[in-house]
Amino acid sequence: MNDTEFLANAHIRFSPTILQRLGEELNPSPDVGILELVKNAYDADAINCTIELINTNQSGGAILIKDDGDGMDVEAIRDKWLLLGESGKSVSHMTKLGRTPAGSKGLGRLAALRMGNEVALSTCPKCDSTKQYNLYIDWSNYENAKTVEEVNLVIQERSPQIEHGTEILLQGLHSAIGRMDVKKLARKLILLADPFGDNPHGFKPHLIAPEFAEFESLVQNRYFEDAEYYLTVEVNKQGYIKALVTDHRGGELFSANHEELTKKRGGKPYNCPPAKFDLWVFILKSDSFSTRKITLAELQRWLKEFGGVHLYENGLRVSPYGDQGNDWLEMNIRRVQSPEERPATNSSLGRISVLNINQQLLQKTDRSGFIENEAFLDLKLFAQDAMDWMAKKRLQVAEERRQKKRDENQKKSSQSKKNIEQVIAHAPASVQVELKQAFDSYEHSRNKEIEQLQQELQLYRTLSTAGITAATFAHESSGNPIKVITQSIKAIERRGKELLAEQYYQVLENPVSQIIKAVHSLGVLGEATLKLLNHEKRRLGRVEIHEVIKGVLATFQPFLEGREVSVVTEFCPSNPYLRGSEATIESIITNLINNSLIALEGALSRNIIIRTTIENNKVILQLLDNGHGIQEINIEDIWLPGQTTRPNGTGLGLTIVRDTVTDLNGEVKAIAKSELGGAEFIIKLPILGS
């Protein structure tokens, strides 16, 4: 017999103070809260969203957010909008207009609504524009309630006074909204907006802030005015093109007709629909942003979201062209092949507008772009030819500028030499011979120095090209290719388990897991390459050597594990540091580890030791492994560029180590066989303290 007795159903309830706490903790600043409500409009496929700040420069003000999106019916208000933690959105499901949902899980909306004392909601569903629903929330009603459920909220129906969409009025703001908050909001609205502003289905936020008029215009103008130069190219119905490049003031730099633009194709017209290509190119140098209204970081963030060339057909944007990771015009690859004066997807924003009336461009059956027929390939070609021409013209200007500088320097040098010779000629005869011998000796040494600098310049040009190549492929691989492979192999894994049951684990589990592991390594490699190029790491300052080593090892960890390499660190108890840049120490450690990984190929056990000691205000860094050691090459020659025993090696890694250590006023030497059996590298660097 059961001794238990049923008494009543019970539910988890919560106090209204939770609302207050959630509002405070989830809404760290006003711009974050307002943006959550704007994201709701974006996810509702609104085209226009107006954010009006009413007397918000003091407490007690109001915020009105209205959009022309899908709106809500009673069920949507009750079961989604008022249901905390429920957004009804999934990033895996696009909206009707093809947008990726931007909102969170409903809690951000609560935080925004708690910014004021009262909330008034008016919404008219697009599916039934004959009805409007209103809801009013007075947060003071929750102060004396024991539980949230005790406060009754009434959804009222009335005759429509707004078109389809939603209006939210927050009244009695608890705090004033300051200038910096409005500025942050304006920046974030820009990242949600259609970058060009003329897509009929693009999102267009409008900020009305009378006290901060300059930020109103910022949302509308975006960053196009900060482009260094602007390319516009048109191809007509007959397939003939013309191009124009202007500077940031609108002044003409270059122009060309069809004949000049198509020399390499013999003037042949393009077999594509009429189109216009606009490209805004930005020069991303920090010193050029010191007097601008925006920062370099803000511009880079905007370009990361929207950079590249987007394709529009008859006024509508065509996906996936110009999406993140979709470099359909091969801008980045072409930049690698000829890096100077060429834009990349992260330094430009462009648009090709096609008038496809005669259906020369045919959409794929899955609607993921166009079939690559002759018309599409010629459309790509006309844009690529225009960019090639622009790069050539800009390169000519740059070369003329450099040549002019070289001529000026050579002229100054010749004049200086003549001046010295005249001084010697007027010197007393007794010292003329001695002075001339001294000057000749100086000139000989100077010429030798120039020759050495020219050789080093060529070396670092090679390194720069290799770095650009690595960065480009890292950027490209971290986009669509890795995502496609990851999604595909996950689908194979899931379906294999469903269809094959136990047989999956016998046949497919190992190769599938190996692919997943390899893709992860590729992703880490791309991320590591881009991290090494982070300009922040090149800033001078205090560099803690142990922390940099730990950071490099963390980056290499997936590869070390994949190759079963054990790395043991034996750090001195103190914390040695020097003045320099993090990038310099990273380059030393990275190249030495790469060198060891190559030496350990084929070894049964793979071990590396990294050791530091302090001696006479210097840190002694030792890296040794149990590889094959230094063989088949003189130990003095390992530092020379191009000297390598590896078939596909560059012979540049140890050269970089030597030069970097020298720049830090340090010393470096190598031992062919260490206590572990492989090579050992010993580096001494002067430090500021430990």
pLDDT in tens, 58-115: 889 999 999 999 999 999 999 888 887 665 554 446 788 877 777 655 667 777 888 8
Lowest mean pLDDT among 14-23, 430-439, 657-666: 14-23
Q: Is 367 exposed, middle or buried (0-12, 13-18, 19+ CB in 10 A)?
A: exposed
pTM of the model: 0.55
Backbone angles phi, psi at 647, to 5 degrees: -55, -40
Does 93 reside within a domain? yes
Exposure string for 160-174, b = 16+ CB within 10 A, e = fewer = eeeebbbbbbbbbbe
Q: Are residues 494 and 549 in the same domain?
A: no
Do 385 and 485 lie in a common domain? no
Q: CA-CA distances (angstroms) from residue 487 to 94, 413, 482, 483? A: 17, 62, 8, 6
Same domain, 378 and 526: no
Does residue 657 lie within any of the structural domains? yes
Summarize pLDDT for 316-330 with one digit per residue, the tens: 788 889 887 788 998
Please tell me whether residues 186 and 236 are part of one structural domain. Answer: no
Which range has the worst mean pLDDT, 27-36, 334-343, 364-373, 575-584? 334-343
Q: What is the average per-residue pLDDT within 339-353?
A: 86
- Residue 283 in domain: yes
Of the ranges 184-193, 316-325, 535-544, 672-681, the best mean pLDDT one: 672-681
Residue 64 sits in the same domain as residue 133: yes
> Residue 106 has what pLDDT?
61
Lowest model confidence (mean pLDDT) among 18-32, 248-262, 417-431, 491-505: 18-32
Specify whether 554 is located in the same domain as 526.
Answer: no
Is 50 exceeded by the pLDDT of residue 335? yes
User: Of 501, 533, 565, which closes a domain?
Assistant: 533
**Greater confidence, 12 or 134?**
134
More reliable by pLDDT, 576 or 601: 576
Q: Among 291-305, 388-402, 438-452, 512-526, which stretch is predicted with the lowest mean pLDDT?
A: 512-526
Residue 153 pLDDT > 70? yes
Strands 618-625 and 606-615: antiparallel
664, 471 contact by CB (below 8 A): no
Same domain, 190 and 232: no
Identify whether 5 is part of a domain. no
Q: Which residues contact 528 (CB under 8 A, 6 or more apart)?
A: 555, 556
Residue 347 pLDDT exceeds 60: yes
pLDDT at 188 over 70: yes
Structure tokens at 273: 């629909």
Q: Which one of 484, 508, 533 terminates a domain?
A: 533
Q: Is the pLDDT of residue 57 over 60?
A: yes
Greater model confidence, 165 or 32: 165
Report if residue 307 sits inside a domain. Answer: yes
Per-residue model confidence as pLDDT tens digits over 621-648: 999 999 988 887 888 878 876 566 665 5
The pLDDT mean for the chain works out to: 83
Domain hosting 51: range is 17-221
pLDDT at 315: 77
CATH number at residue 389: 3.30.230
Number of structural domains (the chain) is 4
- Is 418 part of any domain? no
670 forms beta bridges with: 681
> Which of 4-18, 173-187, 518-532 is predicted most confidently?
173-187
CATH number of the CATH domain containing 155: 3.30.565.10
Distance separating alpha carbons of residues 670 and 673, to the nearest angstrom: 9
Same domain, 526 and 540: no
Is residue 416 in a domain? no
545 and 529 in one domain? Answer: no
Q: For position 25, what pLDDT does the model report?
A: 58
Q: Are residues 447 and 319 in the same domain?
A: no
91 and 200: one domain? yes
Across 188-192, 416-420, 531-535, which has the greatest mean pLDDT?
A: 416-420
Q: Which of 533, 559, 587 is the last residue of a domain?
A: 533
Q: Is residue 298 part of a domain?
A: yes
Q: Give residue 366's pLDDT.
A: 65
The type of residue at 549 is I
Instruction: Indicate whether 34 and 168 sit together in one domain.
Output: yes
